[in-house]
Every structure is written in C-alpha cells, then in structure tokens.
Chain A
Amino acid sequence: MKVSVKVNGEQREVDVEPRRLLVHLLRDDLGLTATNIGCDTTSCGACTVLVNGESVKSCTMLAASAEGLDVTTLEGLAASGEWHPVQEAFRDKHGLQCGFCTPGMVMAAVSLLRENPKPSADDVRSGLEGNLCRCTGYHNIVAAVLQASAAPGQAT
C-alpha cells in the first residue's frame, strides 16, 4: 500500500506492506538510520521520533498509521544547521556514551520540554521513564535536559 508521510519536512511516498512498522519505513525505506531499535516491547524508547510534534515510539506504530502525518527524526532536528538546545546540552553535559539510545532520548527530551518547558529534576526523571540507557546511569542525561530547559527559546 502507498503511504504518504512528511519526514523531516519533506513529503515522501512509500509503498509498504500493511504490517510494516514506522521505524522500518524510516530506517529501511528512507535510510534514516539514526532512529534505532532496542527492544520488541515498546520498553526502551530507542526508536522515539516526533509525530506531529509529540514523541512516539516508532516501533509500535504502523507505517500506514503515519499517513498524512508529520514525522521528525534526529536527522531533522538540526536541519537548519543550528543544533537544538537539547543536542547542545547532551554534548555539554556528556549525556551520551555509546550513542545508541541517544536519538530516541534526545527526541523524547525535546517532546518533554515542549510539554513542560521548566521541569524539575524529578519531572525529567519521570518524563524520560520510557527511554532506557545502559551507559550513563541517567545522571548526565537529567543534567543535560535541565540545562536545555534553561536555554533561551528551547520550547519553540
């Protein structure tokens, strides 16, 4: 079946099996491999992308369900060339090590800050509950999100 979806600002038409997952459409059909797959049960959040501005785990959404919607992956976050404050903060605070959870974590953090521009540390911890990281122990991820929340214009 044909799916028409806007990805990182570009309208794309892809012919997919009805059962195809959004994450496979992104990775295998469109070659956007920043978005990773870390589990089978919507537990780890490595595949988190924004769909119409809200974080969605793309391993549990059918590609067909994205028909007519607007998807943003990590590759699209700094499309203007300017890093998003969340990207800057993850680097400044060493909020990543192996980098595998990072694309999903960054997108979840962007979504979190849109909903709650000035979160407390506890808000960040509970807000990122659906995104797992094995390397950082979360300490620097929380610090990064708090730093980003203080950045000018982060919530745009």
Chain B
Amino acid sequence: MSILGTRVLRVEDPKFLTTGGVYVDDLRDPRLAGAAYVTYVRSVVAHAKVTVDTSGALEAPGVLAVLTMEDVRDVEPPPLALPYLPPAMRRPWLADGVVRYVGEPVAAIVTESRYDGEDAAELVGVDYEPLPVVVDPHASATNEVLLFPEAPSNTALAFELGEPEGLLDDCEVVVRQQVLNQRVAPVPLEVRGSACVWTDDGRLLFWGSTQSPHGARDTLAKALSLEPDRVHFIAPDVGGGFGAKFDVSVEDMLLAVLAKRLGRPMRWTESRTENLLSMGHGRAQIQTVAIGGRRDGTIEAYSLHVLQDAGAYPHFGAVLPIMTQTMATGVYAIEKVAVRTNSVVTNTSSVVAYRGAGRPEATAAIERMVDMFAAEIGMDPAEVRRKNLLPPDAFPVTTPAGAVYDSGEYEKALQAVLDAAGYDSLRAEQQRRRDAGDRTALGIGLSTYVEITAGPEAGQEFARINVRPDGSAVVYTGTSPHGQGHATSFAMLASDELGIPVERIEVVHGDTDLVARGGGTGGSRSLQLGGAAVHQGAIEAVDKARELAADLFEASAADITLDKTRGGFHVAGSPDEVRSWAEVATSADAEHGLIVDTDFKAKGATFPFGAHLAVVEVDVDTGKATLVRMVTVDDAGPVINPVIVEGQRHGGIAQGASQALFEEVRYDEDGNPQTTNLADYAFPSAAELPDFELVEMATPSPLNPLGVKGIGEAGTIGATPAVQNAVVDALAHLGVRHVDMPTTSERIWRAINDAKKGSDR
C-alpha cells in the first residue's frame, strides 16, 4: 500500500519539542565566535532631509563603529528588489540624505554586545528637515509631491487589461463600490535576523532567516559584486515567513559589508518594533470596482481599478497587482473584463509579498462585489454564484485575463460547503433572529475562489536522490521549508518510489553548498515543483539502480524488479535472490552510493480552488463581530500528507479571517506608524478564533505526475472575503451594504448608525 495520502506524523517535530529549533539567533557555530552585533538607527520622521551626527555614539562603551551612507558610498548600491522596478526608486544601503518612511535605517552601529548597541543608538544625533509627507495613495497618484524627484512620477509600475470605457453600458444592473484591502503585517513569530563571516578562503558564509536561500545568495552576490559560488548561504530553521522573507533584505546584506570592514563576524536580530516598522507589509490596495449583469443573476461585466500602495521603496508589493489582474474574474464565466492597476510610492514601509500575494486581493474584490450584486437583485448569494461558475466541462479554461485554469469543480465545492454547514438551517436561524428582533445578528458569508500556485510562469525545481551505501537515503531539495514539513512529505514521496522507509530518509534543504540550485518556498510552489522533482528523481534512481542490479545479477535491466516491501531488487520471476538497496548503492560508488540529480519542469502554473462559508455573530448594539464557524473546501488535488495539508489550511484560514476582522497597519497623516508592536497591532490569539471545519475534495491537476496543486495560501484567499461577507450579511436587514476591513466594532457600529440615519431621512 502506498504511504501517500496517509497521516504520517512530522519527522521534524522531536527537535522542536525538546531542544527547540535552531534559528539564526540561536546559532552557536564556532565560526561566529567573537561576532559583533549590528544595531540600526532608524528614522522617526516619515519624509525629511537628514544629517547624521555619529560622534556621541562613537564614544559610547562597546562601540566598534558607526556607519552612515557616507561610509558605504564606495559600495555598489544594493540591487533592486525586482529588475523591472524603476532604478530611481532604488533603496540605498542607508538613508542617502533623505528618509522616506519611519523606520528607514539612517546609521548602523557595530558593538561588542546587543545591549551596547541599543544604548549607543540613543546617542546618534539625527537632524530632520521635514519634507511634505505622502501617506494616502490617492495623494501620491496626483504626483503633486514626488518622493523620488529623479523619477517622472510616483508610479512604480502599472498594468492594464481590456477597456473599461463603456464596459458596463449594456448591463441591466450595475453595482459600484470602493473596496479597501487594508495594509496588514506578516508577523512571522521569528523576526528578521542574520549572521555572517568571511572565511579564510575568501568566501562569505551567511546565515539568514529566508524562504529562498539560493535567491538570497544570488542577491547577496550581486550586491557584493561576487560570483554566486563565493557566497555560501544557509537558511537554518526559519520561524515563519509568509512571503515577507522571500529573498534577503538590505539590512541583512549590509552585515557582509560590515564584516569585511571590521574583519569580524557580524550578527543582527531586529526587534519586533523594527520588524513592524521595516520588514514590509502586505496587501494595501484601494480597489474601485464595478460589476454588471442581468436581474436573472447573470454577471456580464466586471471592472477593477487597483491603486496599490507600494510603500517608500518599491518591492514585491509593487508588482503584485499583476497577480490581482490575472485572477480578477475568479471562478466566474464573465465575458467583459477590464483592469487598471497603478502602484504608487508613499512615505510608509515597503509593501512586500504576504501569504497569497496579489491573489487574496483579487478574490476579496470580486467576492464582495458578487455579494453586492446579489443583494441588489434580491437573490441568494449562493444562487448567484452557482449561476455564474465556470462549469466542470469547460476545463482547461483560458480566462479573459489570459490565465489557463487547469482543472476545477467549482459548483461541487460550493455545494459541499453549503451541505456541510447546513446552509438552509443557518438561513432559517438568521430569519428567526431577525423576526424576533434579536440583538445578536447572525451573518452567513460565502466565497468561492480560484487561485494560481507555482506561477505565473511554468516553474521548475531541483532534487537530488542519494541512496547511501548503507541503504538509507538523502533527498536534497531546492525548496526551503519553514514550517511546511517538507522533511516529512518529501521523504514520503521518495519512500513511495524507492521502498526505503521514511525513517531512513533524510531531507536536506536550505544550504547552497549542499543543494545545487533551488527556487525556495513561496507562492505555494513547493509540493508541485519540489515534490514532483523528488518523485521524478526517485523514479530515475530506481531506473539507474535496476541497471546496476542487472550487472550484479548479470541479467538485463528490463528484467529487474524492485520489491518495495523488501527494499531490494530481484530478477523477475526469481524473487528469492534479492540484492538490497545497500548492495546496489555500493556498487554505484562504495563511498557515496547512488546519486541522481534531476530538475522537474512544470507544464504550467496550477489553479487550486475552493469554497468557504463563514458564520459570524454581530452584537448590533456594540458592533462587535465574533467568528463562530468556518467551513471550507480547499481543493489542491491529491493530498500527500493530510496532517500537513490540514495544518496549512488552518493557518491560512486564521490569517484570512483575522484580516477580515482585526488586523490593520495604520499610519497617521504625518506618516507616524500607529501599530508598532504586538500590543497595538491586532494579532489574533486562540481566544478570538473558532475551530475550523474542513471538507475534503481532491481534483487532480493534469500538469504534474502527482496531480497536485499548492495549498499554502488557500486559507487567506478563501477566508478573508467569506468572513467579510458574513459581517455585512449579518447587518443586511439594517440596511448596511458594505463594511470595509477590518470589520472592527467601531466600523460596524458606524455602518449600522449611518444606515439608520440614511433610512430616517
């Protein structure tokens, strides 16, 4: 029986549960002995000309150096986060005469100890000559104040699809709404951190808390004008990333420059406040949306304008509207579509990738609009969805945005959550409460979604399978898990082909000297690319082993069979004489065993889908919304390990629900951040969330031999609009049409009162 699809407990866990993981700040590697600590002095003003006086700090105890931009001007500027961003908007190593957001590093202090660094940072004098602050993306888009005078405008990137002019003219019903997809903070529990040393052979050894060690190595090498093989990058245990740790930040990279200058190893671990100020944030879109159709529920046209807040120095966030555009029409067959996007810079922290990265924003917009359309024509939102879903026989589907959806069973997913949740009884209970004038209103929210994983282009990933002379195996992968359990699921994939038990398979990742190449972990790419590579490599290893066994048996390879239960090879028809994996691997190479390198190349991105149903209770006197149920189908094809897939779904659902209900990074009009620690930022605890009810569905993808799609981001994509829709639904009988996220008590209370005032007039 195949191990695939079974509940294998994680092989990673014994360490985490007894001695704890080894994250960057936990490293006690002897090569880091004598390391100095780096502390950044950060701007407290959003937009200003700055002059920096380091003299006081230089005299403080334990201070080895204090550097400003003047001290690193001779170093090439760090590379752009993405090559097609405007060079004029490049982030400097340290503020170059101007600061553009609160938290921007203006000086780096190197000290003997951590505490010394914090003390000395207080002694750096920074003079600020204020410049006009641009916080509102609408204000930025007017280009009245240019954040980068050498750039022609504040626009970092813009995309377009179709023609919005006249798009909705022929529609019987048109609904328009501005929808806010608020700025949120990724908040991995481990903040950013790194450590490095220049080794005697002139190479840079760099440990960083990253999702993509090979990408980080290449970025670092480019920044330092080195060949990539001169950098040895290691991602040790990483305490969560959620997209925000894809690659390596400028604050990380400067350590390499400092280590060279001072001839000492360097360490840096930011504080949570620094993390909330400067790691970057997610989402941050203002969407102007219109949906049009007929009173019978048919949706005919959809128009989306995205004003993307890119933050001060454009990063991934400036590019993500292309993903929003690609997924704009979601699961629906809509003929007429137009999208315009504009990513503008503001005096705030950069917007980066955050779990879902452009796709939750697309789903949130259309799912909110479908509900508004349903409300406008007086039809049940489930019925409107059912009427417009792409049918199962349509796949593969090329959408108006040019995406090719591989496979989908959208109506089946919708029906499954409606049945599991008991939709009709929920509606009856809602009506009962309304009729009784109950002050605790019940809201039922739906979303049906499709997303894109391991995209937008067809991806690839590397794997090495090494069967050692003792018959155990090592799997090397170019993915870089940080909680996703690849050591378990990839061992299962290898075991399934090799017939070597999971306990005897080690998975190696995160080290650029040990793993030849890799794309890291992000965009829900790992299983369908990295897992498929392991699967492919294991098949190739078996093929190679059959040839080796054929030599041992003096038979033809075509006649050699692998008996997976016994973990050995025999000649077909003669099962008594078996050559074990150990013998065969030894015959390949007595020292190293059998080694197979492979690259899996996907035929295209895949499109996981699902349906979420949220039930909320809203106290209509106080406006407090409580999430009471969350029922979801998240179909990402066949499941390799249900334990891990359920965990991915749970985490995503929590983050999605939390964006809908609680989380928001806020700046005041002067660009002062208001949410700079976990006391102020509304990070949910166990007390704010319910258990999640998961419904299983598995529709295979034709695009890889495992049939799998990505599951990592499904939760944030499906849950956010379902929960928001549930809140609005709870208030529908009070005349409320829309509440922006996060649906805080204050927002809900105001919406109820505004609706009441409207009806009084």
Binding site for B on A (CB under 8 A): 17, 19-20, 24, 27, 31, 33-41, 43-44, 46, 74-75, 77-78, 83, 87, 90-92, 94, 96-103, 106, 121, 124-126, 128-142
CB–CB A125/B13 < 8 A: no
CB distance from A106 to the nearest CB of B (A): 7
CB–CB A129/B22 < 8 A: no
Say if the beta carbon of B597 comes within 8 Å of chain A.
Answer: no
Q: Complex Cα distance A100/B209, Å?
A: 12
Q: Complex Cα distance A138/B678, Å?
A: 17
CB–CB B17/A87 < 8 A: yes
Binding site for A on B (CB under 8 A): 9-10, 12-23, 25-26, 28, 114-115, 187-191, 237-240, 242, 271-273, 482-485, 643-644, 646-647, 650-655, 677-679, 683, 685-687, 689, 691-692, 715
Q: Pick the contact of B21: A99, A124, A131 (CB < 8 A).
A: A99
CB–CB B692/A98 < 8 A: no
Q: Pick the contact of A39: B28, B646, B654, B678 (CB < 8 A).
A: B678
Smallest CB gap from A84: residue in B: B17
CB–CB B685/A132 < 8 A: yes
Q: Pick the contact of B650: A27, A130, A140 (CB < 8 A).
A: A140
Lowest 5 A-B CB distances belong to which pairs? A34-B20, A137-B654, A100-B239, A98-B483, A97-B483
CB–CB A94/B644 < 8 A: yes
CB–CB B187/A43 < 8 A: no
Can you list 13 contacts pairing A with B, beta carbon distance less than 8 Å? A36-B239, A38-B190, A40-B273, A74-B18, A74-B20, A94-B9, A96-B13, A106-B17, A125-B686, A128-B686, A135-B240, A137-B652, A141-B686
CB–CB B20/A97 < 8 A: no
Q: Pick the contact of B19: A41, A74, A90, A136 (CB < 8 A).
A: A74
Smallest CB gap from B20: residue in A: A34
Q: Is the interface of B mostly helix, strand, loop or mixed?
A: loop
Smallest CB gap from B677: residue in A: A41
Q: Pick the contact of B17: A38, A102, A125, A136 (CB < 8 A).
A: A102
- Decide: A36 near B190, CB < 8 A? Known: A17-B115, A91-B10, A96-B13: yes
Smallest CB gap from A97: residue in B: B483
| Chain A residues with CB below 8 A from B16, complex form | 96, 99, 102
| Chain B residues with CB below 8 A from A36, complex form | 20, 23, 189-190, 239
| Chain B residues with CB below 8 A from A129, complex form | 685-687
| Chain B residues with CB below 8 A from A87, complex form | 17-18
Q: Is the interface of A mostly helix, strand, loop or mixed?
A: loop
Smallest CB gap from A121: residue in B: B691
| Chain B residues with CB below 8 A from A38, complex form | 189-191, 272, 678
CB–CB A125/B687 < 8 A: yes
Q: Complex Cα distance A153/B600, Å?
A: 50
Q: Complex Cα distance A78/B9, Å?
A: 20
CB–CB A33/B28 < 8 A: yes
20 extra interface residue pairs, beta carbon distance < 8 Å, beyond A102-B16, A137-B715, A138-B686: A33-B26, A34-B20, A37-B25, A38-B191, A41-B678, A43-B677, A44-B678, A87-B18, A91-B13, A91-B14, A97-B484, A99-B13, A99-B237, A101-B189, A102-B17, A103-B20, A128-B686, A134-B189, A136-B651, A138-B689
CB–CB A134/B28 < 8 A: no
Smallest CB gap from A96: residue in B: B16
| Chain B residues with CB below 8 A from A34, complex form | 19-20
Smallest CB gap from B238: residue in A: A98
Smallest CB gap from A103: residue in B: B20
CB–CB A39/B677 < 8 A: yes
CB–CB B17/A91 < 8 A: yes
CB–CB B13/A90 < 8 A: yes
CB distance from B585 to the nearest CB of A (A): 31
CB–CB B17/A43 < 8 A: no
CB–CB B687/A126 < 8 A: yes
Q: Pick the contact of A99: B191, B239, B691, B715 (CB < 8 A).
A: B239
| Chain A residues with CB below 8 A from B22, complex form | 33
Q: Complex Cα distance A87/B9, Å?
A: 13
Smallest CB gap from A141: residue in B: B686
| Chain A residues with CB below 8 A from B654, complex form | 136-139
CB–CB B20/A139 < 8 A: no
| Chain B residues with CB below 8 A from A35, complex form | 20
CB–CB A137/B678 < 8 A: no
Q: Complex Cα distance A121/B690, Å?
A: 10
Q: Complex Cα distance A43/B678, Å?
A: 6
| Chain A residues with CB below 8 A from B646, complex form | 94, 140
CB distance from B662 to the nearest CB of A (A): 12
CB–CB A100/B21 < 8 A: yes
| Chain A residues with CB below 8 A from B189, complex form | 36, 38, 44, 46, 98, 100-101, 132-135
| Chain A residues with CB below 8 A from B10, complex form | 91, 94
CB distance from A61 to the nearest CB of B (A): 16
Q: Complex Cα distance A33/B654, Å?
A: 28
CB–CB B650/A102 < 8 A: no
Q: Complex Cα distance A59/B653, Å?
A: 30
Q: Complex Cα distance A126/B28, Å?
A: 36
Smallest CB gap from B679: residue in A: A41
Q: Complex Cα distance A83/B14, Å?
A: 10
Please indicate which of the listed interface residues A38, A101, A124 has the most CB atoms of chain B within 10 Å of its own CB: A38
Q: Complex Cα distance A101/B483, Å?
A: 11
Q: Pick the contact of B677: A40, A75, A125 (CB < 8 A).
A: A40
CB–CB A134/B644 < 8 A: no
Q: Complex Cα distance A71/B402, Å?
A: 60
Q: Complex Cα distance A27/B643, Å?
A: 32
CB–CB A97/B683 < 8 A: no
Q: Complex Cα distance A125/B627, Å?
A: 14
| Chain A residues with CB below 8 A from B12, complex form | 99
Smallest CB gap from B694: residue in A: A139
Q: Complex Cα distance A75/B643, Å?
A: 26
Smallest CB gap from A104: residue in B: B189
Q: Complex Cα distance A121/B211, Å?
A: 34
| Chain B residues with CB below 8 A from A46, complex form | 189
Q: Complex Cα distance A99/B677, Å?
A: 21
Smallest CB gap from B27: residue in A: A33
| Chain B residues with CB below 8 A from A103, complex form | 20
Q: Complex Cα distance A97/B487, Å?
A: 12
Q: Complex Cα distance A141/B482, Å?
A: 18
Please indicate which of the listed interface residues A35, A92, A131, A133 has the most CB atoms of chain B within 10 Å of its own CB: A133
- Decide: A135 near B647, CB < 8 A? Known: A75-B19, A91-B10, A102-B16: yes
CB–CB B17/A90 < 8 A: yes
